[in-house]
Structure 1
Amino acid sequence: MAAATLSPADAERLSKLKSAVAELSQISENEKNGFINLVARSLSGEAQHVEWSKIATPTDEVVVPYDSLAPSPQDPSEIKNLLDKLAVLKLNGGLGTTMGCTGPKSVIEVRDGLTFLDLIVKQIENLNSKYGSNVPLLLMNSFNTHDDTLKIVEKYKSSNIEIHTFNQSQYPRLVVDDYLPLPSKGKTGKDGWYPPGHGDVFPSLLNSGKLNALLSEGKEYVFVANSDNLGAIVDLKILNHLVQKKNEYCMEVTPKTLADVKGGTLISYEGRVQLLEIAQVPNEHVNEFKSIEKFKIFNTNNLWVNLNAIKRLVEADALNMEIIPNPKEVDGVKVLQLETAAGAAIRFFDDAIGTNVPRSRFLPVKATSDLLLVQSDLYTLQVGSVIRNPARANPANPAIELGPEFKKVGDFLNRFKSIPSIVELDSLKVAGDVWFGAGVTLKGKVSIVAKAGEKLEIPDGAHIENKEINGPKDL
């Protein structure tokens, strides 16, 4: 622990915090220790910035082009052997609040009445049925999503897949003024606590007992991904490469577009591969970081990690990922959440690599504009996987900007009689009180902006190409 380098004032702060945390009955000893360790590291001012002059662009040995990975085996028995080394873990701690939903985000219906979770289960079920393998699915919940997820998982009881759930840590929010835990001031409800980011997946996997259970079943690798990334399906080629080359960690990266300029990127730094996040970049270099010429790739948060290596590093307390301070306000009280990210762990693993994957492996649904893409004719559904329509010539997806009237999933669905055809769409902007009829086709650059206080209805079967529409007369 970094307490040795604390100033007398910070050492006293930490001492008071320890006493207060010891009194919290809602969390385990592991959680108390993890939290105190995080705060101590934060107070000691561990260097968050990198020395810009030491950054090097990773070579193809470090960030391996997807096409140069060894081909995956074709023999079904070899594929079964490979899959039997694998577990899939989805990060399921997020709520659907930004899209106007209550409960876990993974139960939002994505396509054809199926939720994120339905699709994930279908994909893995299909693998297990096809190859006679036993790939289990683990869901890492937060205290926000745990109860709901347990109820939801019941419906998969008869499916050909083992589903395990476990919780990530629950840490108390820190009151900024005096560095004491919010729950010790009477805020003992959900508002007093926070889940400390997905970097917590590694200790939580061990503390929950799931890691040792997987190892005892002969599992060697876990594929970790966000539950809202529809592109994050099991890839035999990547798994085979890791098993052959004995890489302990692999991060999937993909080429940056202007939409991803803030995403973390992989660099070579002092002889190791490392994730560089925008928060670590000195202010004078932020524009350089955002440039897609210099930093051409970004982290998709699809991660493949060796289970024995996780056990070794967590038990040695060696995963000291960069701390991400996340300031919040609860009922007028300024609080701080200290978090970590799973991608930042890459520098602690041996023979860690990135692989530069096709963009199709990164299809997150963060807003209703993303929902419009995946529900449209731009994609089809095949055994739980969302497949891009080959009829679209442009490799990039259309840029879609929907106004606040479309922000909540319920409102979004009400405003479309059916999702328009967008295979030949370049960009779409919609603002104001706009309603879409059935069978609408949008092509090229389309802007539909209703005047304030006016309702604008796009009629059934409308064909709109390279047009700005502000009222019925423009149709």
Structure 2
Amino acid sequence: MATDSEKLSKLQSAVAGLSQISENEKSGFINLVSRYLSGEEEQIEWSKIQTPTDEVVVPYETLAPTPEDLTETKKLLDKLVVLKLNGGLGTTMGCTGPKSVIEVRNGFTFLDLIVVQIESLNKKYGCNVPLLLMNSFNTHDDTAKIVEKYSNSSIDIHTFNQSQYPRIVVEDFMPFPCKGQPGKDGWYPPGHGDVFSSLMNSGKLDALLSKGKEYVFVANSDNLGAIVDLKILNHLINNQNEYCMEVTPKTLADVKGGTLISYEGRVQLLEIAQVPDQHVNEFKSIEKFKIFNTNNLWLNLKAVKRLVEADALKMEIIPNPKEVEGVKVLQLETAAGAAIRFFDHAIGINVPRSRFLPVKATSDLLLVQSDLYTLVDGFVIRNKERTNPANPSIELGPEFKKVGNFLTRFKSIPSIVELDSLKVSGDVWFGSSIVLKGNVSITAKPGTKLEIPDGAVLENKVINSPEDI
């Protein structure tokens, strides 16, 4: 049985021969693997976990108002860059290509909305906030083509790639591309924790610093609530916080989300994977851990440079086992949120739920396409007529999983302002101008097609056949 150091040196010499990736990527990968093999992961001592105080996780409503003077606001915004994590494919929703080009509302894609938002900000304050897109090798080519359509836009748009690492074959701990898998399946992007080194290695970090940029706002491209917030930016600049994670109150839908804790005098992200088995239920309880990470992050660019150069960002490694064409492989990944403990004066800000509106599935698409929201200057604004602060819970069956199928099954998106929950399963089709209220459950029996007629108003109903409507 090979020792870990033998495994590593064998892997290292195999990786050295891979021509598809840069020297930076090779050393980053080997660094990650050697940390993984050394088993340096510190176990969290459960008894040392403390609930963060309001100094560490600042309530949003206590933030100072933004300066009323437009020139002061312009000064703030001129220090800012927006970076969207754009490495994900829309495969779970049945789309090919980057997820950010799925149409969200009124014919606008995620990317269109992001561009319109920054354009209106730049126009309003006469500033120049650039947009960066961190792609993966999966989304790079498509994104380059898509970005061309914004060539007449007033925004500076820059793209760069996150690292490309070889998947490791579990059986003999060798790189998959060396074992007859030279195509895309041999590789993986190592999670968004890679944003720090990729920003540096791409040359973008130094270019931004030379233009006087100080902060970058990083968010997932599919989170429609992740818009530039002047109050947060103002707070970070005034308090010289090097890192800020936006957190928001947990609901039952978010029990697996990472949370912020105070640990040995520093603020730290606690993920479910780090929790000892006997404490998992406690971690999931909304009573003790009341907040979770939205992955909206604000970073000081000089601090990022300092820490990357010092090789100080040793985030927890997330082993992600997969099976590709019958071969068991391992991907080692890191998450950007885990870097919080390495920055000085790092804080969380407990933001309103409206800043977390991710579209992970067609059930989320139903929410944002409905009358629950309107679109203003690229911003998705919640309908004031909805009195319940929580969104309806929506469960759609597999027939609705792919965006194409989802769109054909709705003649128009129903009104859901007064809906609490919706469950749909089976071969169900929706007419136009339907109103859903309260709790609605619709189940088509196997082999039967169930059509909800135009103009139907369904309130607190369980429907299993046309007679129930």
- The alignment partner of 2:174 has SS state of coil
The amino acid across from 1:191 in the alignment is: D
1:143 equivalent to 2:155? Answer no
**d(CA) in 2 for partners of 1:26, 1:388:** 46
Aligned to 1:287: 281
Q: Which of 391, 396, 402 is equivalent to 1:397?
A: 391
Aligned to 2:178: 184
Q: Which of 283, 287, 298 is equivalent to 1:304?
A: 298
Aligned to 1:330: 324
Aligned to 2:4: 10
**d(CA) in 2 for partners of 1:205, 1:70:** 31
Aligned to 2:244: 250
Distance change >3 Å, CA 48–CA 365, structure 1 → 2: farther
1:233 equivalent to 2:251? Answer no
Number of aligned residue pairs: 469
Deviation per CA, 1:7-49: give whole Å up to 9, x if none. Answer: 9810111010110000000000000000000000000001253
Aligned to 1:340: 334
Any conservation in 2 of the 1:48–1:280 contact (CA below 8 Å)?
no
Q: CA deviation at 1:272?
A: 0.3
Deviation per CA, 1:180-205: give whole Å up to 9, x if none. Answer: 10001121100000000000000000
**d(CA) in 2 for partners of 1:129, 1:43:** 51
Unaligned runs of 5+ in 2: none
Q: CA deviation at 1:301?
A: 0.1
Deviation per CA, 1:409-441: give whole Å up to 9, x if none. Answer: 000000000000000000000001100000000
1:154 equivalent to 2:154? Answer no
Q: Which of 358, 362, 367 is equivalent to 1:364?
A: 358
**d(CA) in 1 for partners of 2:324, 2:149:** 36
1:75 equivalent to 2:102? Answer no
Q: Which of 24, 40, 47 is equivalent to 1:46?
A: 40
Aligned to 2:127: 133
Any conservation in 2 of the 1:380–1:387 contact (CA below 8 Å)?
yes
- The alignment partner of 1:56 has SS state of coil
The amino acid across from 1:387 in the alignment is: I
Aligned to 2:430: 436
Any conservation in 2 of the 1:422–1:442 contact (CA below 8 Å)?
yes
Aligned to 2:26: 32
Aligned to 1:3: none
**d(CA) in 2 for partners of 1:345, 1:91:** 16
Aligned to 1:420: 414
**d(CA) in 2 for partners of 1:261, 1:465:** 29
**d(CA) in 2 for partners of 1:48, 1:146:** 35
1:96 equivalent to 2:90? Answer yes
Aligned to 1:60: 54
Identical columns (%) = 82
Unaligned runs of 5+ in 1: 1-6
Q: CA deviation at 1:52?
A: 0.4
- Over 4 Å off, 4+ runs: none
Q: Which of 199, 202, 223 is equivalent to 1:205?
A: 199
- The alignment partner of 1:98 has SS state of helix
**d(CA) in 1 for partners of 2:150, 2:258:** 35
TM-score under structure 2 length normalisation? 0.99
1:453 equivalent to 2:447? Answer yes
Any conservation in 2 of the 1:439–1:461 contact (CA below 8 Å)?
yes
Any conservation in 2 of the 1:92–1:140 contact (CA below 8 Å)?
yes
